[in-house]
Structure 1
């Protein structure tokens, strides 16, 4: 018999954050979209009990805390999100964090840049 894996995710969570390599980006800020998914074993002890899942409102708070301060690289924000989830939820088996920057400063308004980190136990 196989195992059941549950996934809880947030998609396209929008932030306006002071993250960017250039000082001007840290002053003016940039628009970002964050996607995070967390996979873990499904334990159907009581499907209506929040203790048997991962509260996505708590995931949102983690994203808010990490995306608030100044940073030079979105890689450091992605790593901080991933590490906080790993530390807080020891039962996780897989975590994916993707941060997309909507207008990177290389002369066009139609490009997006993204960083994605994955953890697998």
Structure 2
């Protein structure tokens, strides 16, 4: 298997259950890792998953506010698979930095692993 990934892509987004989160927003870090068959040598971008394409999908999904982070990681996973059918496995991890919980917490985290 060949792994293609983005790590700690930073976004300012408006995901969250609380009204102030949809106005003020939060800072997020996103990790995306996908695996495709690695049985043949890849010498052309069309034979692999373009990590610029992964970022563009992430940017598009992160711009659509959702109440639950779970919705965001599922949307990312589904869109990646639809756009890159060769993907056989993905992990999408989304961290909300300094979540508004009235406590000192570095981040909350939701992670989704899928095997196709």
- Give the TM-score normalised by the residue count of structure 1: 0.90
Residue 66 of structure 2 corresponds to: 71
Query: Contact (CA 8 Å) 2:57, 2:76: kept in 1 or not?
Result: yes
Q: Which entry has the higher C-alpha Rg, 1 or 2?
A: 1
Residue 86 of structure 2 corresponds to: 91
How many Å separate the matches in 1 of 2:49 and 2:108? 29
Query: Contact (CA 8 Å) 1:44, 1:52: kept in 2 or not?
Result: no
Residue 40 of structure 2 corresponds to: 44
Look up the SS of the partner of 1:51 in the other structure. Answer: helix
Higher mean displacement: 63-72 or 36-45 = 36-45
Aligned partner of 1:53 among 48, 52, 59: 48
How many Å separate the matches in 2 of 1:71 and 1:116? 16
The answer for unaligned runs of 5 or more in structure 2 is: none
Deviations along 1:61-88, one digit per CA (max 9) or x if unpaired, are 0000000022111111111000001111
- Give the TM-score normalised by the residue count of structure 2: 0.94
Deviations along 1:74-106, one digit per CA (max 9) or x if unpaired, are 111111000001111111110100000011111
CA RMSD, aligned part only? 1.2
Query: Number of paired residues?
Result: 116
Look up the SS of the partner of 1:35 in the other structure. Answer: strand
Deviations along 1:21-60, one digit per CA (max 9) or x if unpaired, are 1010010000000000000101434x33111211000000
Residue 26 of structure 1 corresponds to: 22
Corresponding position: 1:16 with 2:12 = yes
